[in-house]
Structure 1
Amino acid sequence: MHSAVFLIEFGAIILGLGLLGRFAARFSFSPIPLYLLAGLAFGNGGLLPLGASEEFIAIGAEIGVILLLLMLGLEYTASDLVSNLKTQYPAGLVDFTLNALPGAVAALLLGWGPVAAVVLAGVTWISSSGVIAKVLGDLGRLGNRETPVILSILVLEDLSMAVYLPIVTALLAGVGLAAGSVTLAIALGVAGLVLFLALRYGRLISRFVSSDDPEKLLLVVLGLTLLVAGVAQQLQVSAAVGAFLVGIALSGEVAEGAHTLLSPLRDLFAAVFFVFFGLHTDPASIPPVILPALALAIVTALTKIATGYWAARRAGIGVKGRWRAGGTLVARGEFSIVIAGLAVSAGVQPQMGPFATAYVLVLVVIGPLTARFTEPIAAYAARRRGTPTTPVAGDGATAAEPVTDLTKAGSGDVEAGSGASGRV
């Protein structure tokens, strides 16, 4: 009987997610808000609480995070990472300063303490590359001059997770300064070792994993990822970082084949993850935090616009392109939920879950709107002030060599029917 109830519940969840994904794709927006709302509806305090399938959903959610980070790593080569670090790090520093600090300050003002401040800083810092990738495609901006600037910022945010996640994991585990430093040193050491091996022996590693049989390739890559993620978690580093490093170590045809094979699994388990996060958020706990979450969303939307504007200006992009870059970066999504989920699981701050849910729901909805309308609104405001609107060098919509590959934006968001790679 228990097995029958489990199958009914889990089957209904998967079917519902599929229908929600189709609905979102039809109206060209991210399905993440719908997945979160579905979790709220079926969680504690919701319309129809689940029982039999909740434990399985929890395991599926953990696998979803691991696959999201694996797919993210597959999008990059070690040389890509090193190149972006060397050339774009000033934009990354500005991005961190303008967008992480508001989250930290908000947590302290709410009285949540320093650990929650570090967590909320990450929630407000990281943009959703999956949503952004889809928006760029929908708006026909793949060849715009500002697009490489946007992608570089997203890449640097992804790279930062390899350092940030071990720090958060150590803080949430309540370990001391010495133990936390050891954890971070291990994480950085492992990351550095993987980058060295990928640069020096990447072809050999990929050749070892490679197989002409899709079934064998899927089993080897998935098994290796789960194994490394488990070992990383045992070392208090982070299962997500371990999966990310496995993805970086694979390249060429192996990475492309693994990406194709694992994409459906990623989409399935990532959707389950968002539902799981919603399940553990009581809908009644959202109204008390909706106003501070909305205020923080407005502030960090403006700081992301400022980040994109500054980075595009540094790259020599014209005024219109600067506003487009800033507006495109506003959306938050998968990583914000992952980071908040770590805090909720550790029991650090009960209000973190509903706060992050409300915050992400706001920005994942208005993000595509700011991407579309920031530049026209800025142009209108300039005309009202009497500022000249004559195009300058770099304002053109397309570059001499169009950017047609969005895979460097990272992977992870579940974009039903979009075909765009994104990050969780």
Structure 2
Amino acid sequence: MKLSIAWKMIVNESVLSLGISLIALFFAGFLATKVNQSLTAVFIVVGMILQNFFPLTIITEFIATLGIIFMLFMFGLEFSVGSLVHNQRKIFSSGMYDLLFNFPPGLLLGWILGYDLIHALLFAGVVYVTSSVIVAKSIIDLKRSANPETEYVLNVLIFEDMFIASFLACIVGVVNYGHIDARGIFFVILKTSAFFLFFIMLSRTTKKYIDKVVDIEHTELFVILILSIIVLSAGAASRIGLSEAIGAFLAGLLLSETKQRHRISDAIKPFQQFSTAIFFVAFGMSIDYKHFGSMIPIGIFIFIVSSFSKVFGGYFIGKKYELSKRACLRLGFSLIPRGEFSIILAGAIAINSAAPYHLKSLTGVYVLLSAVFGSILMKEADWFIKRFIEKRDKEVKETDNTPVLR
């Protein structure tokens, strides 16, 4: 009886803290929209502030886990196996160039910071992956959907999401296996590939049957069915030692070509938006506040290095596809913001206590910097290009054409 009363008190306190978190999110988000700032960065800051008033509760942690699951499901739902196959060459080539330009610097920085192999790989993923949420929203807000570089920005984002989903599955699988060796890595890759292949084959061979199964008029039953598919897929992935997020991503891929795709998106989006906001708050609350300030200098350095590598990588991709210099540079600037996947990777594994820099705190600084300044750079890309790049090129050209006096 005493245990039941104590548990009820914990639940009541958790519900109250959740309510406070939500109202704080609303006011902070409202102010952020007025100054056109990234909600991702604002929600993390809200979490960092709230940790001074109450601890991270079990309910908040559970909703944050659902946030990852719903986030990855919505990513999967945006893809189409057919369109991926049709555009595979452009997606693969653009994505591989982006990977080669941006994954190795993160790995090198992780090694310099003293991380072991697993954490160095995680950090490379944190530095490498662009925020699909921030970039996609910015493209719409800035009305750049018809721009020549936007197709290649989206190709890079698709490749990154697919790569990071597989990468996360392998990393979590290797850790669950217990140690890193050739046999363990081969087993994890085999298991991950089989899991991906099963869902892709299911999507291609049972499309008609899936359409019939999810074609339910009753709204409540429809939502319950879709939620059951998402959660069961996530649970199945977890059961075989992969990340729950991978199961959710593949569930989205499975349902992406159904006739009910848009209805599914409309039904799940409110759950996704709510739980994703709590996910960012939970991440902010988990950051070691005491060490946050000491991470700022190294965070700024990493942001500068990774921003240059993204811009150079984007410029290279644009040149390969014969885009104009301005479009190439806009492509590079569009890839700077980091966000949701960087945070998922940072929270995937508890950081080794022997490491000199705390991965969550460093990722928090890095994501805040890249989400805020990356969004600004993306928005002001044309001004920056005109002011610093094109003006310099014009001056050089005029200097070259100046006649020499003899």
Fold match by TM threshold 0.5: yes
Deviations 1:388-418 (A, max 9, x none): 69xxxxxxxxxxxxxxxxxxxxxxxxxxxxx
From 333, 336, 353, the counterpart of 2:360: 353
**Residue 159 of structure 2 is aligned to residue 153 of structure 1:** no
Change (3 A) 1:330 1:223: same
Counterparts of 1:267 and 1:346 in 2: how far apart (Å)? 31
Please state how far the C-alpha of 1:3 moved relative to its aligned partner: 4.2
1:212 aligns with 217
Counterparts of 1:144 and 1:97 in 2: how far apart (Å)? 25
Q: Which structure has the greater CA radius of gyration? A: 2
TM-score, structure 1 length as denominator? 0.86
Please state how far the C-alpha of 1:334 moved relative to its aligned partner: 0.4
Residues 129 and 160, structure 2, Cα contact 8 Å, conserved in 1:
yes
Counterparts of 2:351 and 2:384 in 1: how far apart (Å)? 41
Deviations 1:59-104 (A, max 9, x none): 1111110000001111111112223333331221111121111111
1:5 aligns with 13
Higher-RCO chain (CA-CA 8 Å, sequence separation at least 6): 1
Please state how far the C-alpha of 1:357 moved relative to its aligned partner: 0.3
1:406 aligns with none
Report SS of the residue matched to 1:96: helix
Please state how far the C-alpha of 1:320 moved relative to its aligned partner: 1.1
Residues 106 and 123, structure 2, Cα contact 8 Å, conserved in 1:
yes
Report SS of the residue matched to 2:191: helix
**Residue 85 of structure 2 is aligned to residue 79 of structure 1:** no
Deviations 1:243-301 (A, max 9, x none): 10010111233221111011010011111111111111121111222211110111111
Report SS of the residue matched to 1:49: coil
User: How many residue pairs were aligned?
Assistant: 384
Q: Which amino acid aligns with 1:116?
A: H
Counterparts of 1:348 and 1:278 in 2: how far apart (Å)? 22
Report SS of the residue matched to 1:344: coil
Counterparts of 1:2 and 1:116 in 2: how far apart (Å)? 34
2:381 aligns with 374
Deviations 1:313-337 (A, max 9, x none): 2222111111111111110000000
From 190, 195, 219, the counterpart of 1:190: 195
1:203 aligns with 208
Q: Which amino acid aligns with 2:171?
A: V
Report SS of the residue matched to 1:343: coil
Please state how far the C-alpha of 1:176 moved relative to its aligned partner: 3.9
Residues 84 and 155, structure 1, Cα contact 8 Å, conserved in 2:
no
Q: Which amino acid aligns with 2:67?
A: G
Counterparts of 1:56 and 1:361 in 2: how far apart (Å)? 25
Counterparts of 2:384 and 2:367 in 1: how far apart (Å)? 23
Provide the identity percentage: 24
Change (3 A) 1:261 1:100: same
2:292 aligns with 286
**Residue 31 of structure 2 is aligned to residue 28 of structure 1:** no
Change (3 A) 1:203 1:75: farther
Q: Which amino acid aligns with 2:134?
A: V
Deviations 1:211-263 (A, max 9, x none): 12221111111111111111111101211111100101112332211110110
Report SS of the residue matched to 1:165: helix
**Residue 215 of structure 2 is aligned to residue 175 of structure 1:** no
Residues 41 and 49, structure 1, Cα contact 8 Å, conserved in 2:
no
Counterparts of 2:131 and 2:211 in 1: how far apart (Å)? 29
Report SS of the residue matched to 1:211: coil
Residues 38 and 375, structure 2, Cα contact 8 Å, conserved in 1:
no
| Range with bigger deviation, 378-387 or 336-345 | 378-387
**Residue 309 of structure 2 is aligned to residue 303 of structure 1:** yes
**Residue 279 of structure 2 is aligned to residue 276 of structure 1:** no
Please state how far the C-alpha of 1:345 moved relative to its aligned partner: 7.2
Residues 338 and 371, structure 2, Cα contact 8 Å, conserved in 1:
yes
Counterparts of 1:370 and 1:82 in 2: how far apart (Å)? 33
Please state how far the C-alpha of 1:147 moved relative to its aligned partner: 0.8
Counterparts of 2:79 and 2:326 in 1: how far apart (Å)? 29
Residues 207 and 258, structure 2, Cα contact 8 Å, conserved in 1:
no
Counterparts of 1:84 and 1:272 in 2: how far apart (Å)? 35
Counterparts of 1:6 and 1:356 in 2: how far apart (Å)? 26
Residues 382 and 388, structure 1, Cα contact 8 Å, conserved in 2:
no
From 36, 46, 53, the counterpart of 1:48: 53
Change (3 A) 1:241 1:388: farther
Uncovered stretches (5+) of structure 1, i.e. residues with no partner: 390-424
